[in-house]
A and B are shown apart, each in its own frame.
Chain A
Amino acid sequence: MPRRLPVGALVLAALGVAFVALPLVGLLWRVPWSRAGDVLADDATLTALRLSLVCSLGATAIAAVLGVPLAWLLARVPFRGSAAVRALATLSMVLPPVVGGVALFAALGRRGLVGQYLDSWFGVRLPFTTAGAMVAQAFVAMPFLVVTVEAALRQMDMRYEEAAQTLGASRGRVFWRVTLPAVRPALVAGLVLAWARALGEFGATITFAGNFPGTTQTLPLAVYLQLESDTGAGLVLAALMMVVSFAVLVGLRGRWLVRGGGAVIA
């Protein structure tokens, strides 16, 4: 006999679904569909979309290169102040992105703490450049990767790494051939989450990198700008963003977060 489901919880859950679904439906209802074709085919739209993809992928790469070693450090190396480092590593998850952008500016701007040397020694200027947009997105997105990968590294049975060592594997070989494959589902999940966060990033990007079409105006910035000047076009772009994000989450999140999580060596 099937167990009776608690009605109260079901009602609240249904309300929860409605709460997250209604804005999406509302947006789709408001979109002037007759103009969709024109707006989507517009050069400015395609430029913003392309820039969004380039920046978000670049930000994900930065997050991976710096975030995986950071996750490893937090999971495996006991040191004084690790709690503070972990808090720092996840700070930008809770910080308003605009604050993050201002902070980046203070550190990496042309007159910034480090930025002034980047400029005078290497001629590197990050603010108001595509590279700057990537840095801003990576700053906001990296914690998602760090948190996911760190949890997997902690859960992993380290005896597999010892077994690899006794088989003559160097530290590097153990990491690439045993550790990474063991946390692969979590790594992929972390990459997807970080990428999705970077794709939707607005506040830090506009503060640190500005809003220049072709170099720093990503899709979320374009949406914001269009809503000011041409509401219909803005709504079409907003719908585009929602559809893209939704498709990515449906396609990957279900696969890597739910089923993939079980494949972590525990």
Chain B
Amino acid sequence: MNSELSEQTKNKAQITSFVAGLKRIVSDTSITEERKGLIFSEIIENAKLTGKIAPDAESLNNYYQDPGTSAADRSALDSSLALALSKMPIQP
């Protein structure tokens, strides 16, 4: 319990950043819902987690914040999300 609590405190900035990235994709009105689904699929595939997570923002967030998820999976998702965001047009 204590180790889980200290992990949460340590990872707060990382989680907040991941959530902000997901929100950016979800709220981008220039991207169709179908395209968003493809982006989420790509994030999961690039993190080598195909089949473990459904390709939507809520499933990604639940998996990412699950205390049972490994630090390696979280790190892979961070990198994969950053790559997906780097390909997106910058909002005015």
Partners in one complex: no
Binding site for B on A (CB under 8 A): none
